[in-house]
Chains A and B, each alone.
Chain A
Amino acid sequence: MTENPKQSPLTANPYLPEIGTIIETIQETHNIKTFRIVLGSEERMQNFHYEPGQVGQLSVFGIGESTFVINSPPTRKEYLQFSVMRAGEVTTKLHSLSKGDRIGVRAPLGNHFPYESMKGKDVVFIGGGIGMAPLRTLLLFMLDNREDYGKISVLYGARSPQDMAFSYELPEWLERKDMETVLTIDREAEGWEHKVGLIPNVLLEMAPKPKKAVAVTCGPPIMIKFTLQALKKLGFKDDQIVTTLEKRMKCGVGICGRCNIGTKYVCVDGPVFTYEQLRELPNEL
């Protein structure tokens, strides 16, 4: 196929993955593995434009494709990072891959976090389990543009210390003076020096101020439900709360018809929505 070099390959044939190479893998937890991937050439990596919150489809040819957040920020372009929780066929196969293996990548897809409209505001990140992945992108992006944002707080919760992903960078987050980091686990564990308790309760203790603030949250549905109640109690309004939605996806480009909620397609209109936008959608989450 002849391609216009200026045109992103994805626009020319949105179903055709690029071949990437895994340069590093990190076993984050027993069921989450992180992949650092580079595309074709260094030039291609430099010309690969995406925004925090956008996703990609990873392919293992012969098994299929699944959707994952690009959780490295566009301000750090040495590689694209994806963290994959083992859930089914594709994710299990992905977990068997290692450094040097080839992988199909279709990215970037979807919308992104509204980081422009968050400028000058305080930002509260609330992540549960693998839900920390999309938040990581935005957090690192904001840390790389630190002067644009007000107070940054992170609340990250997992079941146990062993279930905490990104453990290699948590010490840095905890130490930084220009952000507040709180880690919590569900139940007491030996050697754990941080919080114990469910995310919504810890959030209420942290009591971030809603004035000129935005809360960004992602995690399992049950956590989101109670986190939302806690945020409301703290005085956050629906348009001050941002989250990402998951739907079963195939094409990722608004054609296969799989991921709609009424007139919205999560793969192109999402995955990022504010709670105000979600309230406008038909009730089909």
Chain B
Amino acid sequence: MANIKKSTSLGDWFDQRLAVKKFWNVMAAEYWIPKNISFLWAMGVILLALFVILFVSGLMLVMYYKPDAKLAFDSVNYTIMQEVEYGWLWRHMHGIAASITFLIIYIHTFTGIYYRSYKNGREMIWVSGILLFIIFSAEAFSGYMLPWGQMSYWAAQVITQLFGGVPIIGDALVEWIRGDYAVSDPTLTRFYMLHVCLLPIVIIAVIAFHFYSLRFPHVNNLDGEEIDFDLEGEKYLSGKVKESKVIPFWPGFLAKDFFYVSIFMIFFFYLVGFNYNFAMDPINFEPANSLKTPTHIYPEWYFLWQYEILRGFFFDIGPLKASDIGLIAFSFAGVSLGLLPWLDRSDVVAPAHKNRGFFIWFWVLLVDMILLSIFGKLPADGSIMGINNTYIGFVLSILYIGLIVVFLPLITILERKGR
């Protein structure tokens, strides 16, 4: 045991028992952040703030929500919305935060791609980030199902049906996941368990890992400049604050983070107060009906690009059925961004505008994903300027896959050879 002395203050009492000072230094006061980063690096802390909002508003909702196929709809739309004081506030905060979390995740991710922060020692940060995106998707989907409205029900029907694409055991697997022959009460209660218990625990664990994975390689910066963080940190500690290229996380960068979180919160509560409808699909205010499909099923906006890739294929290739190809493409899209550190064959870490090829690739990827999202929302049987939506969706899906597995390696190999 360490040599415990009579403490001189309350802080000292804890420090002797929990090494509070050391912990604080590692986590904040001597955790070095490059000076040359912009507001785009504040997205991480905004996401953390959003997760706290989701957690707290979720606790408030779960006190009145009833995970029962007969009671769920009314417990949300009557009890929480009408009877519980401020119940509407928690629901709208929860719904909007879920939606906006994905907006910020996309900004966070595309910042990483633009500045190529996924490379040279930062692979684990990237992979754990994409893993968080995937688990957040599962969390969002399992939560979307809980109000047991028409869109909730049919989203669950379609998504669980996806597992039917697994060879041989598909049909049995779908029944096993649902706990019934169709989506019904057992499905609701197990998704409730996933949404409020298992997945949040996993998310918290992966968030902790995501933070931890930053400690050694540190965050990238606007110029992709390689910084010796130990050396620059020592400079800072020895008083050469101006000369040093880094600042401590606290109070240096967190001060800036708090400023952006404040601005973001004003925007967030504006949405909650005046513009909550975009996260509330009108079809979902109709109770679930297993015998009537809504005329047009679509997911929330943040899944649209993947959804469009899922339905983008309409012809069979040899033994592969169109639906299987769609399913494979969809699964690939889900994990594709996690492969970037290995598909990028160059060792250059520099912002996209420093390399013409990569710059064009980046914006084509972004525009393609936006177009995929737009067409994901449109009915599959419509047409734009005389071209069938199905064909446009197919081209956009092929383009996405091509950009990731063909163009990215090509461009980055050229970059490596051109140096």
**B is a partner of A:** no
